[in-house]
Structure 1
Amino acid sequence: LNANNQQKGVDSLIRTDLESLARHRAISDAALVGGDEDLVSAVEAAQGYGARVHLWGIEAGEGRNQAEPLLWEVDSQRTFDLDFCRPYVTRRPVTMYEDDTPAPSREDVRFVGAQIAAAWLAARGRESLADLLPGHPYLPGSVDQDLLVEAERLLQHSLRGHAHLRRALRDGFWQHLQAQY
């Protein structure tokens, strides 16, 4: 997930993995859980190397959730009953914040970023810091997502729609980490 909680570039990663595994004969069959038409080229590439691709999906509440062109290309298709999947899938609870509360100051948000960085560093150790530094000023998606969720919890204020506060949060996080290196 990116900083806006959006999934980007997943199709290209799936294509790369699927094609690479098929090309190196590391797989003979692949189960693809998805339904996006953009995956057709990934399926064709894997099949070109001799792999069979099986499309798995979850029953849609209404209509279809798998693209027709993708269904034509795969070697087999299986749809799991929605009730079968429900016990294994949960949604992350959404925390609602009052819109009428004033946004925190940049300095407050920067301080929270530093607090979270201190806890992150204490939990993972200095060796984990070496993995983050080459990516500065960007954080890996999972770290960034955890940072944003924890900051919203501590601040009791949503940072969605406040790009300048998210930047201040990340700045505070990075400043604390860089001071430790």
Structure 2
Amino acid sequence: MIELARLKSIGDAILLSGDEDVRVGVQIAQNYGVRVHLLGIAPSRGSQSQQLMLEADTTTEWGADTIKTFLSVREEKEEVIKVAAAKAASTPATGEAHNLATIAVTVTTFVDGLGKTDIEGVAAYWETDRGVPAELDKKLLPICGSAIGGKLTTSEIRHMRATFQKAVKAKL
């Protein structure tokens, strides 16, 4: 912010912070003529520095209703488990075969829930790396574990990752 202010590249800055440490940066930017607008996400007033709030040119607090107009949270884990459990109920319950079938349905349901940009991101990842991207693997492991009602074995994890790759490739 200071560098942009010094170069006269900005006239206004929106600061989403509450730390008093940035107060000096706000002062310096204001010395270059920049108006600094402090934005908080409710309940922010209890966690924003009073000195920072006094230093800012304006202070605004956005509530949940405002945030919901442009941002949403996907409750994917519970939804994927419900859909996968319903689909897996039709497969014969025979130990490991049932678990593998449940994992396949769960992974396919998970991939079906990914957006176009997520799929494109996986394809871009595959240009330099192999397997399931770490952030998706971290989501998928507990989802599959919940779907089968326990911790995945090494062969089940391998099956999960292979199924993920096939499902994503089918969407490309």
TM above 0.5, yes or no, is: no
Query: Structure 1 length as normaliser, TM-score?
Result: 0.43
Structure 1 or 2, whichever has the larger Rg, is 2
Query: Structure 2 length as normaliser, TM-score?
Result: 0.45
